[in-house]
Structures are given as structure tokens and as C-alpha cells.
Amino acid sequence: MGFTNGSTPFDRYELSDQFYLQKADKKEWNLFFSVYYNAEYISFFKEMALHVLRNIDPFWICKGRMKIGGVVISANQMCLLYFIPPFHEQGTIVHLLKNVLLKWSDTTLPIHVYEVLQDQVDLFARAGFWPDEQRFRWMQRPTETLECEWDRALTVVQSLAQDEPSTRTLTKDKEIGHLFYRCYSDSIRGMNNPPKSISQYISETQSMMKEASTDLLRASTLVYDKRNNALIGACLVSMHQDLPSIQQLGVLPTYRGRGMGSNMIKRSLTVLKDLYPYLRVHVMQGNPVESVYYNLGFVPGLIVISRMLVPVK
């Protein structure tokens, strides 16, 4: 989720003459969220709301003295909208929340709703939100010790960890950036996702290296072709909501179909076995790598739209 830190100066904000936002106690709000948000999604992401609420305030949506829903909202961003039965005027509330976003936000910057579930897509679309073309799902699997058989023509670098965490840099960050650029240059992109440049991939790799723990760096892998010493595959593991997640997995097109991606995933599952209960990955629906994760026992969560955009005239 792309939600960033932020707070609002309001304890109460009038949405209309009938409805208003009331700043909520985080513990109580999370209890209602755990009951009234999508049950299947909650079962997959039990810790999601607590993570989002660490540095941002949730709100009750109220009508008179009655709570009719909850939402996390601040300038330029919104997520985790839910309603409390028997309230049924969801469309009215989404329109009102859109108006709040436009009033609170810097309209020179994008205004997004994050992690929109399938059962709310039409609700937001009818209010004028633009969905990204791509659908994503989280997948997860218990960590486990698994055997890997590597091709002898490959050199496998089995840790990206260095001795000094405060000065971590990838000596091969440009090489890794070029690899991911070549791996993803022919991938499908949504209307709000222009292709990344090589420099963006390099920057993301550098950020990952600086933020990752030593354990996550040890669970990451680089694979080289011994014949020409070229980097042909990589798997980078980062942290997402207190659990490890495969941030990037890539194999050059001419080397695919040889089990290299599966082996890198197996290696991550093995290294993390005694450290974390699960390994997760965020996968675009229809990406061929989705089947790789299925075949390794990853269970899919609900399909979501990672973000919907509020168009500003």
C-alpha cells in the first residue's frame, strides 16, 4: 500500500447537514474494522489496519449520534473504508468523501484511494474515481526448508548483507537496476503507471538495501551466468507490514523456464524459516509469475486495485 504518514487538524468535520467525520480512538476503530471490513481480506491481513494507523488518524463516519462506518483519510489519500449495517447509503458517503479529499488535498499532486477491493470498485467508479487498469493480489505461504538444485553453469550469490548497515550500498546496484529494467520492459502497465526508467530501478534497489535487515538481505539472491559473468536473475526481499515480502523477482527472458525463479523463491523460504512464519508477494493478475507462486504453494488473497485516482480538473 502506498499510504504515507499524515494527520488532520480536525476532531470533527462536517460532510453535510446529515453526516460528519469524527476522529476515532485507534483501538476501538480497529475493532470495528476487524468485524465490518471484508472478512476474507481481514483473514489474510489481520495486522493491516494497525500498521496503517501507526502514524495517521482514523475517522468514524457518523449520522447524528450513530456510527455508520469508518475510514482513514487525510490530504491526497484515503483507504480502509467500511460501513456498519444496516446503513445502505454508501454511494452518498463516497461522493462526500471525494469532496473532502478535494478540499483537503494539494491538487497539484495525485489524490489516491489505495487497496480498493472488488466489492467497492463500482462504488468508487460511480463517484468519479478512476481505477488503474491493473489488478493485484497478495499471495502468501509458510516459510519452510526446501531443497534447491542449481544448474552448475550458474553462480549463486546467497546474501546481499554487508558488515556496516549504516553505510550499506549495493556495489552492483546499477547492474541490478539494468537487470530489472530488461526483465520488466515488456510487461503490461496500467494507464497511471508509466514505464520505469533504469535510474528508478537503481534508486529502488538502493533504498531497499538501506532499509532491509541483515536477515532479509541474506534471503535475497543474485544469479550469474558463469560463461560470461552476466547477472541474469535476482530476488530481493523486503519488509511489508512486519512480514517479509518478495519486492522484486526477475529473470532475463532468454533464461526463463529453467526453474531459476522457483529456486530463488525456495531459497528465500528456507533462509527465513526460523525467523518469520510467512513470506508474501504482491502479484499483478495475469502476470506469468503468478503460476510460479501457485506451484510453490502460495495461497492467493483477494484481487484489489492498488489505487484509484481522483481526477482534478
By C-alpha distance, which of 68, 65, 66 is closest to 81? 68
Per residue in 171-214, pLDDT tens? 578 889 999 999 987 665 544 456 788 899 999 988 888 888 99
pTM (predicted TM-score): 0.81
The whole-number pLDDT of residue 210 equals: 83
CA angle in degrees (0–180, nearest 5) for 293-295-299: 55
Candidate from 140-149, 218-227, 302-311 with smallest mean pLDDT: 302-311
> Taking the domain 139-302, which CATH number applies?
3.40.630.30
pLDDT at position 186: 66
Three-state secondary structure call for residue 102: helix
pLDDT class of 227 with cuts at 50, 70, 90: very high
- pLDDT at position 52, please? 65
Residue 159 pLDDT > 80:
no
The percentage of the chain sitting over the pLDDT mark of 90, rounded to a whole number, equals: 65
State how far Cα 141 lies from the chain centre.
16
184 vs 298, residue with greater confidence: 298
What pLDDT sits at residue 172?
Answer: 77
The reply to whether 139-302 shares the fold of 12-131 is yes
C-alpha cell at 10: 480536525
How sure is the predictor about 3, in pLDDT bands with cuts at 50, 70 and 90? very low
Residue 24: exposed, middle, or buried by beta-carbon count in 10 A (0-12, 13-18, 19+)? buried
Which residue matches cell numbers 539494468?
178
| Distance of alpha carbon 131 from alpha carbon 116, whole angstroms | 9
CATH number of 12-131: 3.40.630.30
The pLDDT tens digits of the residues spanning 94-114 come to 999 999 999 999 999 999 999
pLDDT tens digits, residue range 17-65?
A: 999 999 999 989 989 998 999 888 887 776 655 666 777 889 999 999 9
Q: Which residue has the cell 483519510?
A: 73
Give the residue from 274, 246, 111 showing the smallest Cα distance to 180.
Answer: 246
Mean pLDDT estimate for the chain: 88
- The answer to whether the CB of 222 falls within 8 A of the CB of 230 is no
Q: What are phi and psi of 92, to 5 degrees?
A: -60, -45
Q: Kindly provide the b/e burial profile for residues 175-186, where b requires at least 16 CB atoms within 10 angstroms of the residue's own CB.
A: bbbebbbbbeee
pLDDT in the model for residue 146: 97
**Can you give the length of the chain in residues?**
313
pLDDT of residue 187: 61
Q: Where along the chain do its domains lie?
A: 12-131, 139-302
Say if residues 216 and 244 touch (Cβ distance below 8 Å): yes
Say if residue 293's pLDDT is above 70: yes
Contact 245, 280 (CB under 8 A): yes
